[in-house]
Structure 1
Amino acid sequence: MRDGWAWRAGDGAAEPSLGAMNASVPVRATGSWPRRLLAFLGPGYMVSVGYMDPGNWATDIAGGAQFGYTLLAVILLSNLMAVVLQALAARLGIATGRDLAQACRDAYSRPVGIALWLACEAAIIACDLAEVIGTAIALKLLFGLPLLAGAVLTGLDVLLILLLMRRGFRALEAFVIALLTIIFACFAIQIAMAAPPVRDVLGGFVPSTTIVTDPAALYLAIGILGATVMPHNLYLHSSIVQTRAYPRDEAGKASALRFAIADSTIALTLALFVNAAILIMAAKVFHGSGHTGVQEIEEAHALLSPLLGVGLASTLFALALLASGLNSTVTATLAGQIVMEGFLRLRLPDWARRLVTRGIAIVPVVIVTGLYGDEGTARLLVLSQVVLSMQLPFAVIPLVRFVSDKGKMGVFVIPAWLKILSWAIAAVIVALNLKLLVDTLTGG
């Protein structure tokens, strides 16, 4: 470990995170608070995508079907943890002008940096794998395409990414927010159709002893918590908050930090609604009708319309899944670029970066689907989440360590109470992820 940041000469000016996109979005220096906030809205919504991607759906469905509204408390706790950690990522980026990957490169020896890069690349590929599977399932549900064909078609989204990136960062954010709006609307309509009892829903947000005493409930709770913070989201957020053209002095950074935290907190509240809505819908429709064994996305889709008595329900479910998969594609691509440039200073053309990661993700889906059919793909989705769990400590621990160090953060170092809270959250998430990993590998 080097003393302080020990930035190499010229690094900060020569290598801004995300290159030309850094400080490319103008913001208001004066005006009302809501109008100034509007200019900062965007990065938080891009980060929130990772909290409602296809990899999270199966856990929420299984939790609601098996235990009703009980695990809503776990979703709420997970979201509160996410709010804190994403705020730390934003703080690191704004205070130091470095994203998490750049910070790791400059703070650790090269062998450690390479190891962290490899771990993060594995996580991004695993996340991309979940997106391929989720999008392929959505295409199958909506258009009847075989999973194999749907997985291959997902490779074409590289064209979409290229088009958006050429139009600037605001276009990228607008696309993400538009798809998030579709997801939100789909689940709002489904919740209205299901009409869950408000008292039971509110009661679900109160922690229950069942979560701890029932081994099956505890396992699902660990799964929900374990999939809460996507490792690449921390790298992503620490970079994209720097796309705003705020003054790079102390006052400008302090103002930007306030707006960035407000942005991510609002966006993660939307993610809380979506995740809670999936579980609430499963609780009302499946648990309420005795279908407590529903676990897979396709099974949930098949049962929704018959049990609700509304043909549109399953279509809305599949549409939200497709929007989720497409959205995750954008953020994973951007995270991949940030990680590669931050750790290695290696810049690849956007199309090359996307083709490499998406190609690596498509190959296992094609092989597993061809050999084992749809059931094998569902297992592959679970495996992708385990890989993400393995990488999480290597992102959370450096982040908390950096923002706790006054030598690195200066006046923006986190206060003692937040330091204690951050380390506690890191310890809980790491411990639960490790338990989830062990249980998954041992069949516990």
Structure 2
Amino acid sequence: MARRSKTKPDGTADGIVCDTAAGVQEPVDIDTLGLDAEAAQDIAIARKDEGRPEKATHALASMLGPAFVAAVAYVDPGNVAANLTSGAKYGYMLVWVLVVANCMSVLIQYQAAKLGVVTGKSLPQILGERMGAAGRFLFFMQAEVIAIATDLAEVIGGAIALNLLFGIPMLLGGCIIGAVSTLLLFLQGGETHKIFERLVIGLLLVITFGFIAGLFMDPPNPLAVAEGLVPRFSDGASVLMAASMLGATVMPHAIYLHSTLVNDHFGTGVDRPSVPEMMHGSRIDVVWALAIAGSVNIALLVIAANSLHGMGGTDTIEGAQHAITQVLGPAVGTIFSIGLLASSLSSTSVGTYAGSEIMKGLLRVKVPMWACRIVTLVPALVVLAFANNPTEALIIGQVVLSIGIPFAIIPLMRYTHDRAIMGKYADGTVKHIICLAVCAVIVLLNLVLIVLTAMGKA
């Protein structure tokens, strides 16, 4: 952002004029010079709309949406299984894992949005431009395994919800989830993108109500919840559970997709906002969306710790729902099942969209949505047909997701620090160090998970 002095008629200094990416000259007070560039942009944008609250509110609302769609991935049925299992088995002990994971998610998703608004490209596209044919194919294969593990959790969760609500057999329920989610995907793209975005956000609100309702029926002890904020493990199995929760909370496909969503939302024409405006809006979008998603995840764990801890049969979603019905009443149990169904429908649609974008960016081919849907749906239907405990398969899927996280976040952090890609919007040294620290924590936890699993101690 170019800066130069702005003077009054008498020759005295009156601040700074900033040339934004859109060529608009915006005054910034000298006081903002002590802040980093992104903070100074936020102040400049806020001051520009001072005295025009209605316009500012409308402008902000127009910026919201992409992060809320991505946030659906953070409240999918895999979260439900991991968080309910954690709360029922370990009480409040692993609340801190969700808090840390959610803070990491805010940083990671903002970086993905920032990459998209600055470059106008998705993370898979940028990866594809910097890899040879063999590298693109290998990277695509690991990403596709992650996509299959993701859809496994989402389809199984939806089948369980339909079984709980209507008694529909699991395999048939999985087919219904696959069919309905495919219909939702036809709204993605072109003029109907906004409809898809609003439908997914509406489902997110249903999810939030469905999974938080139990807290109001049986409020937890605040001191007991606070004790769960102290980082600790009890055994190797708790480390495996923490890794599973991390895999459910920090979602690789949401990272790949978010950089596409912002460009779908803001467009590429003359009406596209300036880069500073999009970055400002994306920060607010991400914080609000993941505050909701994080609250839902913590609520699930707290409900299980408060109402299901020590009860038998709560290591499956079905068992947890039956226990919730017994302890909190049939109404809460039904609301929970509706939330689970909404979670499945929205997250499986978003996951398939992410898979399509990954394939397009890495393999440079555009595959129809229905074909991407079949590739990830078939393994989930096989599990539903033959697995004795679908929830156990769902937990294993979350561990696979955890292993795939570094493949998404390490390139993301590298590219957002690269001036050749980001120009003047590249991350500064301090922020890059923070990003590297987040990567290191996640990779270390995954290495511990792999070692414990290989030794049979997890």
TM-score w.r.t. length of structure 2: 0.83
Divergent runs of 4+, >6 A: 246-251
Of 212, 226, 229, which residue of structure 1 is paired with 2:247? 226
Segment of structure 1 superposing worse, 341-350 or 244-253 = 244-253
Q: Indicate yes or no: 2:82 matched with 1:59.
A: yes
The CA deviation at 1:441 is 4.9
What one-letter code is carried by the residue in structure 2 that aligns with 1:151? G
Do the aligned partners of 1:151 and 1:365 also contact (CA within 8 Å) in 2? Answer: no
Do the aligned partners of 2:210 and 2:336 also contact (CA within 8 Å) in 1? Answer: yes
The CA deviation at 1:250 is 12
- What is the aligned partner in structure 1 of residue 215 from structure 2? 191
Do the aligned partners of 1:226 and 1:433 also contact (CA within 8 Å) in 2? Answer: no
The CA deviation at 1:366 is 4.2
- What is the aligned partner in structure 2 of residue 383 from structure 1? 396
Distance 1:302 1:139 in 2: 14
- What is the aligned partner in structure 2 of residue 305 from structure 1? 325
What one-letter code is carried by the residue in structure 1 that aligns with 2:202? A
Distance 1:114 1:156 in 2: 29
Q: Indicate yes or no: 2:313 matched with 1:273.
A: no
What one-letter code is carried by the residue in structure 2 that aligns with 1:255? E
- What is the aligned partner in structure 1 of residue 281 from structure 2? 259
The CA deviation at 1:408 is 1.6
Q: 1:293 to 1:217 in 2, by over 3 A?
A: farther
Map residues 353-432 of structure 1 onto 2, 5 A cutoff.
353-358=372-377, 360-369=378-387, 373=388, 375=389, 377-432=390-445
What one-letter code is carried by the residue in structure 2 that aligns with 1:53? D
What one-letter code is carried by the residue in structure 1 that aligns with 2:186? L
Distance 1:304 1:249 in 2: 49
Q: Equivalent residue of 2:216, what SS?
A: helix
Do the aligned partners of 2:184 and 2:196 also contact (CA within 8 Å) in 1? Answer: no
The CA deviation at 1:398 is 0.9
Q: Equivalent residue of 1:69, what SS?
A: coil
The CA deviation at 1:442 is 4.4
Do the aligned partners of 1:226 and 1:429 also contact (CA within 8 Å) in 2? Answer: no
- What is the aligned partner in structure 1 of residue 22 from structure 2? none
Distance 1:361 1:163 in 2: 25
What one-letter code is carried by the residue in structure 2 that aligns with 1:301? Q
- What is the aligned partner in structure 2 of residue 12 from structure 1? none
Do the aligned partners of 2:105 and 2:250 also contact (CA within 8 Å) in 1? Answer: yes
Highest CA radius of gyration, 1 or 2?
A: 2
Structure 1: tracts of 5 or more residues without a match: 1-28
- What is the aligned partner in structure 2 of residue 170 from structure 1? 194
Q: Equivalent residue of 2:220, what SS?
A: coil
Structure 2: tracts of 5 or more residues without a match: 1-47
What one-letter code is carried by the residue in structure 2 that aligns with 1:400? M
Of 86, 91, 94, which residue of structure 2 is paired with 1:68? 91
Do the aligned partners of 1:61 and 1:278 also contact (CA within 8 Å) in 2? Answer: yes
Q: 1:165 to 1:90 in 2, by over 3 A?
A: closer
Of 351, 358, 364, which residue of structure 2 is paired with 1:345? 364
Distance 2:456 2:80 in 1: 21
Q: Equivalent residue of 2:186, what SS?
A: helix
Distance 2:234 2:375 in 1: 45
Distance 1:216 1:55 in 2: 18
What one-letter code is carried by the residue in structure 1 that aligns with 2:322? A
- What is the aligned partner in structure 2 of residue 325 from structure 1? 344
Q: Indicate yes or no: 2:174 matched with 1:151.
A: yes
Distance 1:380 1:218 in 2: 18
- What is the aligned partner in structure 2 of residue 98 from structure 1? 121
The CA deviation at 1:381 is 1.5
- What is the aligned partner in structure 2 of residue 38 from structure 1? 61
Distance 1:142 1:167 in 2: 34
Do the aligned partners of 1:60 and 1:275 also contact (CA within 8 Å) in 2? Answer: yes
Distance 1:249 1:163 in 2: 22
What one-letter code is carried by the residue in structure 1 that aligns with 2:289? A
Q: 1:195 to 1:250 in 2, by over 3 A?
A: closer
The CA deviation at 1:141 is 0.7
Q: Equivalent residue of 2:278, what SS?
A: helix
Q: 1:222 to 1:407 in 2, by over 3 A?
A: same
Q: Equivalent residue of 1:212, what SS?
A: coil
Distance 1:188 1:148 in 2: 28
Do the aligned partners of 1:60 and 1:279 also contact (CA within 8 Å) in 2? Answer: yes
The number of residue pairs the alignment matches comes to 404
Do the aligned partners of 1:56 and 1:227 also contact (CA within 8 Å) in 2? Answer: yes
Q: Indicate yes or no: 2:134 matched with 1:111.
A: yes
Distance 1:160 1:98 in 2: 24
Do the aligned partners of 2:214 and 2:303 also contact (CA within 8 Å) in 1? Answer: yes
Do the aligned partners of 1:165 and 1:171 also contact (CA within 8 Å) in 2? Answer: no
Q: 1:166 to 1:403 in 2, by over 3 A?
A: closer
- What is the aligned partner in structure 2 of residue 316 from structure 1? 335
Q: Equivalent residue of 2:151, what SS?
A: helix
Distance 2:218 2:326 in 1: 12
The CA deviation at 1:63 is 1.7
Distance 2:454 2:75 in 1: 25
- Matched-pair identity in %: 37
- What is the aligned partner in structure 1 of residue 354 from structure 2? 335
CA deviation profile, 1:174-195 (whole Å, cap 9, x unmatched):
1111111111112332110122
Q: 1:329 to 1:124 in 2, by over 3 A?
A: same
CA deviation profile, 1:115-164 (whole Å, cap 9, x unmatched):
11111111112111111111111111111112122122223121232246
Q: Indicate yes or no: 2:161 matched with 1:161.
A: no
Segment of structure 1 superposing worse, 109-118 or 323-332 = 109-118
Segment of structure 1 superposing worse, 391-400 or 64-73 = 64-73
CA deviation profile, 1:6-49 (whole Å, cap 9, x unmatched):
xxxxxxxxxxxxxxxxxxxxxxx976433211111111011111
The CA deviation at 1:367 is 4.2
The CA deviation at 1:390 is 2.8
Distance 1:311 1:110 in 2: 55
Distance 1:278 1:314 in 2: 13
